């Protein structure tokens, strides 16, 4: 490690925003001036009531301007007809926005966001979002509720699957890439979707890992970690923000003016539109923060929520609140302006052409590459992997080897199961059906019956090697899917024991929506490939990786605990005043009067993770030269470069993800994490090849919040 001394302080630059087109603003002003209060409140309302076929009632409501947006509405023909009614038969001809949860693909499903984060490949993540936007836009969808950029440091939380991991820098880079992919070069392009940064804010810090639960975050932690991806999304031009379900420091995020007015609008100068989450406005009643829907509407509108998703408190009570002077027409008009501006940006006031059908070959190629890069090799004792294609027979064991729905993962409601190519199908295609012996062993990942074990053991005995497909089904992760235990569910560990007893080489592929704990099982399995639910083309990607047509390159975007009792566990922790020592287990030998061994540790398990953030093995090996610094000091406004040579010293071509971490300063105004990610590069190297990798650091990159909530890079020694 090298030491950098900072001699100056530097603030991050204020967020800027481009000026809105004057003609659009004029047209918005004219529309707002002509609108009745009920039409304004209609724009502030989103419904799920559009169904197939369109009812006469919903047609009449569209003509009357009752709704500004529909969520999960009908099919493409229904959306087209609803839009025709809105733009031709309503009084003001204001178009509708059609929203859909296009989270990690539409009909073609890409790896879950946590898997995409494991690629550490912003351009590939952008490509995946671009393909998803093309497919969804072809079905007349114009708005997606992604990316979810909540920092997630508790794998019990089911929605960690939808996150980009535990690190604010990585989440910021990948979240911005998703936004660029969804929104394309122009929101008005027929194949673009408006993106939505969610859930603002603190949702990933839910107590106990229980979805929707309270979050308690000191402001310095909130700003330094949990808000950084959202600020990056604002800087990336994300079209919309979504408020979170949770309370943040006892104030529901959907009624938190500190988040929505002070930070989002005031500090970041955000000019997009803010939507609540599903019924989050009326959830204020259950929180105990509002007496009834009328008060919920007042608090949410005053805080800065502009569109209410599904619940109808704005439409039902805003007129009364206006008469009582509890909200103002300025509150209403400001919201309507932002909603109309989004519709203009999307090109909805002009006939928006249906985009040409996406190229399925290109989409599937991106899906396969993303699945391939998202796989993380956790273990490879004796270089068991890759397997040889000359293998006589292989046993494929486990229900997840041939389960299209589970392979797609959570939030894939539009995913085409008939598009999915499973690992079993891909291996049969690669090797020939006669060389692949399949035995599911269990009905599903939760199955506790051992009725299928004999067949699984028989398959292993007939084969030269066995590949176990373990993990959790899609329904076990995602929203409202929190788990108190992180072990392999059902009888999977017993299945591992039974197959291991057959005495054949075993590799495991674990498909899951979160980090799992599988220490005992891993001791019996020499090679483990971890695949966060990999989507439509996961099967071919896994087959290529198992047999060496590709080398694993994914790195963990989240820390894997040894046991659930370590949670929350993450790499960028503080050191404490009594840091632990490696391997320091057992009861301390001293006592309070003579505190020998009184350190920050557990007495029954090593404090370190099972697999750390950023970890991932390869089929080749890499050598790093000592890093070189362009200078030993960094002044405000200056730049410092850190360079190292990376060489592929092994037998196979592979990608390597070079990661830059810093720590410090020592002696600052607050204690700082032991290390923080500040940069990464994905490089491809053929055997024997080498490349110079260069990172640039500025004082802005090292800035953090001090006790006065000032963002600054403080002077002192840093390590990189």
Give the C-alpha separation, 670 to 504, whole Å. Answer: 54
What pLDDT does 20 receive? Answer: 52
Tokens of 407: 């392979």
**Six-digit token string for 675:** 């290390």
Read off the pLDDT band of 5 (50, 70, 90). Answer: very low
Calculate mean pLDDT across residues 13-25: 59
Per residue, the 3-state secondary structure of 306-321, as one string, reads: CEEECCCHHHHHHHHH
**606 catalytic residue (yes or no):** no
b/e 373-401 (16+ beta carbons within 10 angstroms → b): bbbbbbbbeeebbbbeeeeeebbbbbbbb
Own/partner contacts of 585-594, CB < 8 Å, gap of 24 or more, are: none
Which pLDDT band, with edges at 50, 70 and 90, does 120 fall under? Answer: very high
Asked if residue 64 has pLDDT above 80, the reply is: yes
Listed in sequence order, the residues at least 6 apart from 400 whose beta carbon sits closer than 8 Å to its beta carbon are 406, 407, 445, 469, 470, 471, 473, 511
3-state secondary structure of 653: coil
* Digit-coded pLDDT (tens) for 449-477: 999 999 999 999 999 999 999 999 999 99
The least confident of 68-77, 83-92, 167-176, 387-396 is 68-77
Q: How far is CA 494 from CA 362, 439, 442, 453, 503, in A?
A: 41, 15, 11, 9, 15
Catalytic residue among 154, 167, 191, 277: 277
- Alpha carbon separation from 46 to 387, 652, 690 (Å, rounded): 52, 53, 54
Confidence grade of residue 3 (pLDDT, cut at 50, 70, 90): very low
Please name each of the domains of the chain with its CATH number.
Answer: 1-13+620-720 (2.60.40.10)
- Position 11 pLDDT exceeds 50: no
Please determine, for residue 12, whether its predicted confidence score (pLDDT) is greater than 80.
no
Output the pLDDT for position 356: 87
Mean pLDDT of all residues belonging to the chain: 95
The residue-averaged pLDDT of 559-583 equals 95
Residue 94 has what pLDDT?
Answer: 98
Show the tokens assigned to 522: 């891993």
Mean pLDDT for the stretch of residues 138-151:
97
- In DSSP terms, 438 is beta-bridged to 396
Q: Nearest to residue 147, comparing CAs of 122, 174, 165?
A: 174
Sign of CA dihedral 117, 123, 127, 133: positive
pLDDT at 4 over 90: no
Please write the tens of the pLDDT for every residue from 182-235: 999 999 999 999 999 999 999 999 999 999 999 999 999 999 999 999 999 999
The structure tokens listed for 694 are 């260069």
Contact 98, 141 (CB under 8 A): yes
What pLDDT is recorded for position 331?
Answer: 98
Of 237, 236, 257, 262, the C-alpha closest to 305 is 257
Enclosing H/E stretch for 681: strand 676-685
Pairwise CA distance, residues 64 & 66, whole Å: 5
User: Cα separation of 299 and 294, whole Å?
Assistant: 9
First and final CA of the chain: distance in angstroms?
Answer: 6
Q: Are 307 and 45 in contact (CB under 8 A)?
A: yes
Mean pLDDT along residues 675-689: 98
Give me the pLDDT at residue 353, please. Answer: 87
For residue 79, pLDDT beyond 80:
yes
Report the 10 Å Cβ neighbour count for 443: 13
How far is the C-alpha of 712 from the C-alpha of 702, rounded, in Å? 8
pLDDT digits (tens, 9 = 90+) for 511-523: 999 999 999 999 9
Residue 588: pLDDT band by 50, 70, 90 thresholds?
Answer: confident
Q: What is the pLDDT at residue 699?
A: 94
| Between 434 and 52, the higher pLDDT residue | 434
- How distant, in Å, are the alpha carbons of 356, 381, 473 from that of 467? 41, 15, 18
* Model confidence at 10: pLDDT above 50: no
Can the peptide bond before residue 22 be classed as cis, meaning omega within 30 degrees of 0? no
Residue 380: its H or E element: strand 376-380
- pLDDT for 589 beyond 90: no
Cβ atoms 564, 517 nearer than 8 A: yes
Q: What is the mean pLDDT of residues 483-492?
A: 98
The larger pLDDT score, comparing residue 352 to residue 384, is at 384
- Does residue 19 have a pLDDT over 90? no
Burial of 499 (0-12, 13-18, 19+ CB in 10 A): buried
């Amino acid at each position: 490690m090298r030491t950098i001394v900072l001699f100056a302080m530097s603030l991050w630059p204020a967020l800027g925003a481009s000026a809105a087109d004057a003609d659009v603003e004029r047209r918005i002003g004219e529309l707002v001036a002509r609108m009745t209060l009920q039409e304004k409140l209609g724009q502030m309302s989103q419904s799920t009531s559009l169904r197939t076929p369109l009812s006469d009632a919903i047609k009449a409501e569209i003509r009357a301007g009752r709704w500004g947006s529909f969520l999960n509405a009908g099919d493409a023909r229904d959306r087209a007809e609803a839009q025709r009614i809105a733009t031709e038969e309503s009084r003001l001809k204001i178009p509708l926005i059609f929203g859909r949860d296009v989270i990690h693909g539409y009909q073609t499903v890409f790896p879950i966001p946590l898997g995409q984060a494991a690629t550490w490949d912003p351009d590939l993540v952008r490509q995946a979002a671009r393909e998803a936007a093309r497919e969804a836009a072809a079905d007349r969808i114009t708005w997606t509720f992604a990316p979810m950029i909540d920092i997630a440091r508790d794998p019990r939380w089911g929605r960690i699957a939808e996150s980009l991991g535990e690190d604010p820098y990585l989440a910021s880079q990948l979240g911005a890439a998703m936004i660029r992919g969804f929104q394309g070069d122009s929101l008005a392009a027929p194949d673009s979707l408006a993106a939505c940064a969610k859930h603002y804010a603190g949702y990933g810090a839910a107590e106990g890992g229980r979805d929707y639960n309270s979050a308690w975050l000191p402001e310095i932690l909130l700003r330094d970690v949990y808000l950084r991806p959202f600020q990056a999304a604002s800087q990336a031009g994300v079209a919309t923000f979504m408020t979170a379900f949770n309370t943040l420091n006892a104030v529901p995020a959907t009624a938190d003016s500190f988040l929505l007015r002070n930070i989002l609008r005031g500090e970041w100068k955000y000019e997009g539109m803010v939507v609540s989450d599903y019924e989050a406005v009326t959830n204020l009643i259950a929180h105990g923060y509002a007496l009834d829907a009328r008060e919920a509407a007042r608090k949410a509108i005053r805080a800065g929520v502009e569109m209410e998703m599904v619940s109808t408190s704005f439409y039902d009570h805003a007129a009364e609140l206006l008469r009582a002077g509890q909200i103002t027409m300025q509150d209403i008009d400001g919201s309507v302006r932002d909603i109309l501006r989004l519709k203009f940006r999307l090109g909805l006031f002009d006939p928006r052409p249906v985009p040409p059908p996406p190229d399925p070959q290109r989409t599937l190629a991106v899906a396969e590459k993303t699945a391939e890069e998202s796989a993380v090799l956790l273990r490879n004792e004796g270089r068991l992997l890759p397997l040889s294609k000359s293998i006589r027979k292989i046993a494929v064991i486990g229900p997840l080897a041939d389960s299209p729905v589970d392979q797609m993962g959570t939030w894939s409601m539009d995913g085409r199961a008939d598009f999915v190519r499973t690992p079993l199908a891909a291996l049969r295609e690669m090797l020939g059906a006669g060389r692949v012996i399949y035995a599911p062993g269990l009905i599903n990942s939760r199955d506790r019956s051992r009725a299928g074990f004999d067949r699984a053991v028989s398959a292993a005995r007939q084969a030269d090697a066995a590949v176990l497909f373990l993990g959790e089904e899609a329904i076990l992760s995602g929203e409202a899917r929190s788990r108190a235990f992180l072990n392999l569910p059902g009888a999977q560990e017993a299945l591992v024991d039974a197959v291991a007893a057959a005495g054949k080489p075993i590799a495991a592929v674990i498909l899951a929506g979160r980090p799992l704990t599988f220490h005992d099982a891993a001791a019996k399995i020499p090679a483990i490939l971890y695949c966060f639910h990999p989507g439509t083309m996961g099967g071919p990607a896994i087959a290529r990786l198992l047999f060496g047509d590709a080398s694993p390159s994914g790195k963990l975007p989240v820390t894997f605990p040894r046991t659930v009792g370590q949670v929350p566990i993450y790499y960028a922790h503080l050191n404490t005043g009594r840091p632990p020592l490696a391997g320091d287990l057992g009861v301390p030998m001293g006592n309070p009067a003579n505190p020998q061994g009184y350190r920050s540790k557990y007495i029954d398990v090593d404090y370190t993770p099972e697999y750390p953030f950023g970890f991932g093995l390869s089929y080749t090996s890499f050598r790093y030269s000592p890093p070189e610094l362009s200078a030993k000091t960094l002044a405000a406004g200056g730049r410092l470069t850190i360079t190292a040579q990376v060489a592929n010293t092994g037998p196979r071509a592979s990608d390597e993800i070079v990661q830059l971490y810093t720590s410090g300063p020592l002696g600052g105004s607050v204690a700082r994490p032991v290390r923080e990610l500040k940069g990464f590069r994905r490089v491809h190297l053929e055997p024997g090849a080498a490349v110079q990798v260069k990172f640039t650091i500025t004082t802005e990159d090292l800035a953090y919040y001090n006790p006065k909530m000032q963002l600054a890079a403080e002077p002192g020694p840093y390590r990189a």
